[in-house]
Structure 1
Amino acid sequence: MDKDSQIQLNNNNTPASRNATILVDGKGLIAYSNQQACHIFGYEYGEMTGSELNKFMPEIDVYTAKEGMIIHQLGKHRMGHDFSLFFRINAFCFGTNQFFLIVFNSVKDQSRLKSAHAYHLNELVDLKYALDESTIVAFTDQRGIITYVNDKFCEVSKYSAEELIGKDHRMINSGYHSKEFMKELWQTIGNGEVWRGEIKNQAKDGSYYWVDTTIVPFLNEKGKPYKYLAIRNEITEYKQVVDELKKSVNELSDLKFALDASSIVAITDQKGIIHYVNDQFCRISKYSRDELIGKDHRIINSGYHHKRFFADLWRTIASGIVWKGEIKNRAKDGTYYWVDTTIVPFLDEHRRPYQYLAIRHEITKRKKAEEELQLMMTKIINVQEEERRRLSRELHDGIGQNLYSHLITINRLQSDVNHPLLDQMQDEAAEIIEELRDLSWTLRPSVLDDLGLIPAIRSFLVRFSDHTHINVYFDCYLNTRLNENKEITIYRIIQEALTNIRKYADTEEATVTIREMEDEVRVMIEDKGKGFDIQAVSRGVGLFSMEERAKAVKGNITIQSLKDKGTKIILDVPL
Structure 2
Amino acid sequence: MDLNKHLEMEKGGTPGSNDATILVNESGVISFANQQVYDNFGYEHHELNGEKLLNLIPGANLQHSGAGEIIHQLGIHRDFSLFFRVNSFQLAKELYYLIVVHKVKDQSRINQQQSYPINELVDLIYALDESTIVAFTDEKGKIINFNKKFCEVSKYSATELIGKDHRIINSGHHSKEFMQELWRTISSGSVWRGEIKNKAKDGTHYWVDTTIVPFLNEKGNPYKYLAIRKEITEYKRVLEELGKFVNKMADFQFALDASSIVAITDQRGTIKYVNDQFCRISKFSKEELIGQDHRIINSGFHSKEFFNNLWKTISSGEVWKGEIKNKTKDNTYYWVDTTIVPFLDEFQKPYQYLAIRYEVTQRKLAEEEIQKMTGKIIDVQEEERKRISRELHDDIGQNLYSHLITINRLQTEMDHPLLDQMQDEATEIIESLRHLSWELRPSVLDDLGLFPAIRSLVAQFLEHHHIKVHFECYLNCRLNANKEITIYRIIQEALTNIRKYAYTEEAAVTIQEIEEEVRVEIKDQGKGFDIEKVTRGVGLFSMEERARICGGNLILHSREGKGTKVILKMPL
- How high is the TM-score relative to the length of structure 2? 0.72
In structure 1, the residue matched to 2:233 is: 235
User: Displacement of 1:225 after TM fit?
Assistant: 6.8
State how far apart, in whole Å, the 1-side matches of 2:145 and 2:511 are.
93
Instruction: Choose the corresponding residue for 1:322, options 296, 319, 322.
Output: 319
2:199 aligned with 1:202: yes
Structure 1 residue 341 corresponds to structure 2 residue 338: yes
- What's the offset of the Cα at 1:385? 0.7
Determine if contact 1:142/1:228 at 8 Å carries over to the other structure: no
1:238-296 CA-to-partner distances (Å, cap 9, x unmatched) read 43343232222122222222322222222222332222222222222222222222222
| 2:534 maps to 1:537 | yes
In the aligned structure 2, how far is the partner of 1:384 from the partner of 1:363? 31
Whether 2:423 is the aligned partner of 1:426: answer yes
1:262-273 superposed matches below 5 A:
262-273=259-270
* Worse-matched range after superposition: 166-175 or 524-533: 524-533
- Letter in structure 1 aligned against 2:213: P
CA-CA distance at 1:426 after TM superposition: 2.7
| Secondary structure of 1:389's aligned partner | helix
* Higher mean C-alpha deviation, range 303-312 or range 218-227: 218-227
Q: How far 1:226 moved relative to its partner?
A: 3.5
Percent pairwise identity? 67
**Alpha-carbon deviation of 1:383?**
0.6
Q: Equivalent residue for 1:516?
A: 513
Aligned to 1:43: none
Pair 199,382 (structure 1): closer, same or farther in 2 beyond 3 Å: same
Q: 1:389 to 1:280 in 2, by over 3 A?
A: same
1:405 corresponds to: 402
Query: Does the C-alpha gap of structure 1 residues 330 and 204 become closer, same or farther in structure 2, counting only changes over 3 Å?
Result: same
Offset, 1:219: 4.5
**What's the counterpart of residue 449 of structure 1?**
446
| 1:211/1:233 contact within 8 Å kept | yes
Matches within 5 A, 1:329-368: 329-368=326-365
Cα deviation per residue 1:326-376 (whole Å; 9 max; x = unaligned)?
Answer: 222222222222222222222222333222222222222222222222221
Structure 1 residue 421, shift from structure 2 partner: 3.0
Change (3 A) 1:228 1:402: same
What is the Cα deviation at residue 379 of structure 1? 1.0
Q: Is the 8 A contact 1:189 1:215 kept in 2?
A: no
Name the CA distance, whole Å, in 1 between partners of 2:125 and 2:268. 60
Structure 1 residue aligned with 2:309, among 308, 312, 316?
312
Quick one: structure 1 residues 353 and 464, their matched pair in 2 at CA, closer, same or farther if it must change by over 3 Å?
A: farther
- Give 1:180 shift: 4.0
Q: Is the 8 A contact 1:192 1:225 kept in 2?
A: no
Q: Name the CA distance, whole Å, in 2 between partners of 1:295 and 1:347.
A: 22
- Distance in 1 (alpha carbons) for counterparts of 2:381 and 2:374: 10
Residue matched to 1:14: none
Equivalent residue number for residue 160 of structure 1: 157
Deviation by residue 1:384-423 (Cα, 9 ceiling, x = unmatched): 1111111111122222222233333333333443433333
**Aligned residues: CA RMSD:** 3.1
**Aligned pair 1:546/2:562, yes or no?**
no
Q: Which amino acid aligns with 2:451?
A: I
1:254 aligns with 2:251: yes
Q: Does structure 1 residue 181 correspond to structure 2 residue 178? A: yes
Aligned residues: 460
Whichever residue aligns with residue 542 of structure 2, its letter is S
- Using the TM superposition, give the Cα deviation of residue 174 of structure 1 relative to its aligned residue in structure 2, in angstroms: 1.5
Alignment partners' CA distance in 1, 2:303 and 2:257: 30
In structure 1, the gaps of 5 or more residues are 1-80, 88-104, 106-117
How far did residue 508 of structure 1 move? 3.8
SS in structure 1 at match of 2:398: helix
CA separation in 2, counterparts of 1:571 and 1:461? 18
Q: Match of 1:492, as an amino acid? A: R
SS at match of 1:295: coil
1:183-239 Cα deviation digits (max 9, x unpaired) = 4544565677765543222233433x2324243637478686744143332524x43
Distance, in Å, in 2 between the alignment partners of 1:124 and 1:487 is 95
**Aligned partner of 1:230: which letter?**
I
Partner of 2:209: 213
Change in 2 beyond 3 A, CA 1:86/1:347: closer
Q: Following TM superposition, by how much is the alpha carbon of 1:382 offset from its aligned partner in structure 2, in angstroms? A: 0.7
Alpha carbons of structure 1 residues 425 and 342: separation in structure 2 relative to 1, 3 Å: same
Is 1:504 matched with 2:534?
Answer: no
Distance 2:149 2:505 in 1: 85
What is the DSSP-based 3-state SS (H/G/I as helix, E as strand, rest coil) of the residue aligned with 2:115?
strand
Long gaps (5+) in structure 2: 1-110
Q: 1:161 to 1:530 in 2, by over 3 A?
A: farther
Q: Matches of 1:312 and 1:387 in 2, distance apart?
A: 43
Q: Distance in 2 between matches of 1:137 and 1:509?
A: 95
- By how many angstroms is 1:449 displaced? 1.0
Q: Secondary structure of the equivalent of 1:85? A: coil
* Match 1:462 to one of 438, 459, 464: 459
The answer to whether the 8 A contact 2:194-2:211 is kept is no
Q: Deviations over 1:28-65 (max 9, x none)?
A: xxxxxxxxxxxxxxxxxxxxxxxxxxxxxxxxxxxxxx
Partner Cα distance (2:333, 2:229) in 1: 66
Over 3 Å counting, the alpha-carbon distance change for 1:230 and 1:360 in structure 2 is same
- The verdict on how the C-alpha distance between 1:306 and 1:483 changes in structure 2, with shifts beyond 3 A counting, is farther
Q: Secondary structure at the match of 2:509?
A: strand
Residue type of the alignment partner of 2:226? Y
- Does residue 482 (structure 1) correspond to residue 512 (structure 2)? The answer is no
CA 1:186–1:520: 2 relative to 1, 3 Å: farther
User: Per the alignment, do residues 193 and 496 of structure 1 end up closer, same or farther by CA in structure 2, a change over 3 Å counting?
Assistant: farther
- Which of the numbers 276, 280, 285 marks the counterpart of 2:282? 285
Question: Is it true that 1:145 corresponds to 2:142 in the alignment?
Answer: yes
Is it true that 1:555 corresponds to 2:564 in the alignment?
no
Distance 1:358 1:423, change over 3 A: same
Instruction: Give 2:115's aligned amino acid.
Output: L
Aligned letter for 1:300? Answer: I
Q: Is the 8 A contact 2:134 2:226 kept in 1?
A: no
TM-score (norm 1): 0.71
SS of equivalent residue, structure 1 residue 538: coil
Corresponding residue number in structure 2 for 1:171: 168
Cα shift at 1:537: 2.7
Q: Is the 8 A contact 1:144 1:168 kept in 2?
A: yes
